[in-house]
Amino acid sequence: MSQENLKIVRKPLAVREQSSRSLDQRLVLRFPRLFDIYARWLGRLPPTSRVRQAVVWRGARLGMEAFNRRDVDVAATFGSPDFEFHPPREFVEAGFLEPCYRGPAGFRRYVSAWSDAVGFRVEPVELIDLGDRLVLLAELPARGQTSGVPLSGQIATVSELKDGRAIRVQAYLDHTEALEAVGLGE
């Protein structure tokens, strides 16, 4: 890996309150092979590339907006067909969630299980591009579905990339823990 690929790019990230599927999201769902080619090309660009930055930040924003409206088909398109999603260990240890969800069908089960327990909206605050990994730091304002009790916290994901698509995503309930996992801890 060249020295340029080792640079880290950190930028703020925010999502819109209301959203619907964009034209490019509809095209990705309709023509997934074209998206594979596009993702591979994008994955070869260094994090400092302005083109990569624009596309990655737009993709992350649109993906989070899709997640917030529970449009799992769109949210899962950014992962490879057999990607793994690992929820926060605290929820696995408490028995709320499985340790790993594989592919779009598994991710759909995760979103359903998570939505049943907690009504939530993810509010991203920063995206960090490390080249072969993306770190998303977000706030998690939530409300218990049954109790109505307001909850708040942090959530972060570390996505390992291959050919421009996520192959493994690990979620954390603490920004510091996620940053330490990628060597950016203090």
Q: List pLDDT tens digits, range 55-98.
A: 999 999 998 998 888 888 888 888 898 999 999 999 899 888 89
Q: What is the pLDDT of residues 25-46, one digit of tens each?
A: 888 888 888 888 888 999 999 9
Instruction: Look at residue 118 in the predicted model and tell me its pLDDT.
Output: 60
Domain that holds residue 86: 8-181
Instruction: Give every strand in the sheet of 150-151, ordered side by side.
Output: 118-120, 142-144, 150-151
Neighbours of 21 (CB within 10 A): 16
**Domain contains 3:** no
Cα separations in angstroms, 108 against 21, 67, 72, 162: 17, 10, 6, 22
CATH of the domain at 111: 3.10.450.50
Is the model more confident about 186 or about 48?
Answer: 48
Instruction: Look at residue 72 in the predicted model and tell me its pLDDT.
Output: 86
Confidence of residue 170 (pLDDT cuts 50, 70, 90): very high
**Domain contains 32:** yes
Domain count, the chain: 1
| pTM of the entire predicted model | 0.85
**Domain contains 38:** yes
Neighbours of 66 (CB within 10 A): 23
Instruction: Look at residue 5 in the predicted model and tell me its pLDDT.
Output: 41
Backbone angles phi, psi at 95, to 5 degrees: 85, 10
Range list of H helices, the chain: 23-30, 32-44, 50-68, 72-75, 89-93, 103-117, 175-181
**Domain contains 186:** no
The DSSP code for 57 is H
Q: Does the pLDDT of residue 134 top 60, yes or no? A: yes
Average pLDDT, the chain: 86
**Domain contains 77:** yes
Cα separations in angstroms, 17 against 42, 62, 65, 106: 28, 12, 8, 26
**Domain contains 103:** yes
Percent of the chain with pLDDT over 90: 47
Is the model more confident about 6 or about 137?
Answer: 137
Average pLDDT of 144-164?
81
**Domain contains 112:** yes
Confidence of residue 54 (pLDDT cuts 50, 70, 90): very high
Beta carbons within 8 Å of 49's beta carbon, 6+ residues apart = none
